[in-house]
């Protein structure tokens, strides 16, 4: 268990972007990517958004949300939201790094914060925000049993492909669909930690994963910026 965690820690620290993208002039949001080790395997904790929420009801996501004035940085935001949504105390998270951010449908700059939690953690979902909490083996995001790529149009108008995973949780006899930015972050996390070629296509140069991920992000940001200018 030690070595699995150690190896993951080391690889993640090498890919920490810190506050490199924090000054971009977009509204900020953060998500926590909570990792745990069980029986020598890395697992990733995910939540399902409550059905009464206005935005993306019933969708799978990571604990997280918009930055608030009280938050010192993206890490603070992710930890505060995880506490509010699933009862995870900030001191129960060993924060390792921040990965390359993404941009959501509302044009928020979303920073993924990666941290380890204990495998004994029992989630206490806030029913106003979360209807379910489950874990998926991290390797599922490079070797899935049920995967498809969905074509979609980015906010700046060009076509791309979106990862869509279906995960059957035999323990709770439920099926979960993981797609969009959540799947994007899960794939990047798995690529960073395992350093293996996935069984599906990704738009990264796998020999230069981090510089490729940063370039992709900056291209996305630039195209959004250009679109804003053309709308003025």
Domains of the chain as residue ranges with CATH:
4-231 (3.90.79.10)
Report the alpha-carbon distance of residue 184 to residue 119 in Å, rounded.
Answer: 24
Q: Provide the pLDDT for residue 217.
A: 95
Q: Provide the pLDDT for residue 168.
A: 96
Q: Provide the pLDDT for residue 55.
A: 79
Nearest to 13, CA basis, from 115, 140, 109 = 115
Q: What is the pLDDT of residues 99-126, one digit of tens each?
A: 999 999 889 999 999 999 999 999 999 9
Q: Provide the pLDDT for residue 159.
A: 76
The parts of the chain modelled with pLDDT lower than 50 are 232
Q: Provide the pLDDT for residue 53.
A: 79
Q: What is the pLDDT of residues 195-207, one digit of tens each?
A: 999 999 999 999 9
């Amino acid at each position: 268990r030690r070595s699995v965690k150690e190896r993951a820690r080391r690889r993640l620290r090498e890919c920490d972007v810190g506050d490199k993208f924090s000054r971009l002039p977009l509204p900020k949001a953060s998500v926590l990517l909570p990792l745990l080790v069980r029986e020598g395997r890395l697992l990733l904790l995910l939540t399902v958004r409550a059905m009464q929420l206005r935005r993306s009801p019933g969708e799978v996501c990571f604990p997280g949300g918009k930055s608030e004035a009280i938050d010192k940085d993206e890490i603070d935001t992710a930890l505060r939201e995880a506490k509010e949504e699933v009862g995870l105390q900030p001191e129960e998270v060993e924060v390792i790094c921040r990965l390359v951010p993404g941009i959501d449908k509302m044009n928020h700059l979303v920073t993924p914060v990666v941290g380890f939690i204990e495998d004994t953690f029992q989630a206490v979902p806030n029913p106003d925000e979360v209807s379910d909490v489950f874990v998926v083996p991290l390797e599922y995001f490079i070797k899935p049993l049920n995967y498809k790529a969905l074509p979609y149009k980015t906010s700046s108008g060009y076509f791309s492909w979106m990862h869509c995973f279906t995960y059957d949780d035999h323990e709770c006899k439920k099926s979960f669909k993981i797609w969009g930015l959540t799947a994007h972050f899960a794939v990047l996390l798995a690529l960073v930690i395992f350093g293996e070629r996935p069984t599906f296509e990704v738009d990264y140069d796998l020999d230069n994963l981090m510089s490729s991920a940063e370039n992709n992000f900056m291209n996305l940001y630039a195209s959004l910026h250009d679109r804003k200018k053309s709308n003025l």
